[in-house]
A and B are shown apart, each in its own frame.
Chain A
Amino acid sequence: MYDMKALYQAKDVADAVALRLQHPDAQIIAGGSDVLVQMREGKRAGVELISIYGLDELRGVRLEADGALRIGSLTSFSHITRDPLIQKHVNVLGEAVDQVGGPQIRNIGTIGGNTCNGVTSADSASTLFAYDAVIELMGPDGIRRVPIQEFYIRAGKVDIRPGEIQTAVLIAKDSYENTHGHYIKYAMRNAMDIATLGTSVNVRLSDDRRTVERARVAFGVAGPIPLRAVHAEELAAGQPISAELAESFARAVREDINPRDSWRAAKDFRMHIAVESARRAFLESVKLAGGEL
């Protein structure tokens, strides 16, 4: 038994919005792999829950009319990894969420829950930052779309307003088109562990595959919320591919990241693996894009 005051099960998105307004203090529960565990720990004991887990309309991946990739907020990690559209357009996202927890967690955990939690270590978050994802929310006044960089306010706090629920994560066509990316999760164990550092890089090369048109890099656990390393991105844009470029790109990430000391790892160690991960993820992304060194 969970220590729960009451459970409200939403029948559809409109009902979820109505329940949010009726019970402003209630906690939203999607897959529950964070919320239910926190209740067991006593952190959220005695709460009212609004369950949206049954809303199948929020599951699945499809292309919007403008070519944007739309990932329903309740799509599980394992379904994202197996989805043909994800594999074709943002394979790195499928690979990143395939490193969350273990197999059973990836069957219950949702991308909406992963982002709404607001934690910096979320395995989906760095890749979504690196692709300028847009978060879609439904509220009493209709749909609101917010860039993921603005959605994250501070550690554990995201921009969900009264009456709102997150309905989708969107990636614009210009963002994913003709890009290749790679994610590196640094953790102590291969399974059932939380990232000490997460690094997601993606590149778009010129037609002759000799020049970097655009490179993007984002980190988890390099600051209180996921973040982009724009100095490195600016440095690489328009530059010919070379091992030296990978080095200078990697060193430049230090300009933007701000990791901390924690029981999991020291700040200096995180700085070190951020540079090394950026270098490796950049080289792998270039390789995936067909570039040669």
Chain B
Amino acid sequence: MEKHVTQYQTVHFNLNGRDVERTVDVRASLTDMLRNDFRMTSVKKGCEVGECGACNVLIDGEAFNSCIYLAVWAEGKHIRTLEGLLGPNGELSDIQQAFVDEAAIQCGFCSPGFILTAVEILESGKEYTDEELRKLLSGHLCRCTGYENILRAVKKTMYRRLGKPMPE
């Protein structure tokens, strides 16, 4: 059998506001690199085929499933994981606190992915209808049946950031 020659490449990118570089096996997914090389364990290994959203991260401000993204494609990108949302002393961000307050978490496996999609939604600065929010959140699976509470947490934070009262 033909011997496999491992191919490596050095990748430079910005992770949660910090410039980093790492030499990685080109076969690695972005999930592999973030978890194994940077200990970003909020990036969950779920389905690994881009269906469940547990591995979701923000790349240049947009949500991507890192399980179907080559690690070497991170070159030059700005990548954010849930770890990047914490304050300097480990304080929770408003959207994380809203997930706690609304009981939008049971087992917690889907939460980091959902929260990062919520960050993309919130940072757009737009006001969305419930129907639009449901569509924007539809790339994540929660098996503890928490969708209503998740929707409420995102909606509540959206209105708070917009400085508007949440409609009944």
Contacts and interface: CB of A to CB of B under 8 A. Distances in A.
A4 interface: yes
Nearest to B134: A190
A53 B7 contact: no
A40 B48 contact: yes
A5 interface: yes
Contacts of A7: 7, 26-27, 70, 72
A104 B25 CA distance: 24
A40 B138 contact: no
A102 B73 CA distance: 21
Contacts, number: 84
Contacts of A190: 135, 138
Interface string B46-60: 001111010010000
Nearest to B51: A192
Contact of B53 (A2, A41, A54, A104): A104
A200 interface: no
Interface stretch (A29-37, A236-244, A272-280): A29-37
B62 A107 contact: yes
Contacts of A191: 135, 138-139
**Mostly helix, strand, loop or mixed at chain A's interface?**
mixed
Nearest to B76: A54
Size bracket of the B interface: 20 to 34
A64 interface: no
Given A1-B32, A3-B27, A36-B68, A104 B4 contact: no
Contacts of A4: 26-27
Given A32-B68, A37-B68, A103 B139 contact: yes
B117 interface: yes
B63 interface: yes
Given A1-B25, A7-B27, A102-B140, 16 more contacts: A1-B27, A1-B32, A2-B70, A4-B26, A7-B70, A32-B68, A33-B68, A54-B73, A102-B139, A103-B63, A103-B136, A104-B50, A105-B139, A107-B63, A191-B138, A191-B139
Interface of A: 1-7, 9, 32-33, 36-37, 40-41, 51, 53-54, 78, 101-105, 107-108, 190-192
Of all A-B residue pairs in the complex, the 8 with the closest CB atoms, nearest first, are: A102-B139, A191-B138, A7-B26, A1-B27, A103-B139, A104-B139, A36-B68, A104-B65
6 contacts: A33-B50, A37-B49, A40-B48, A103-B137, A104-B56, A107-B62
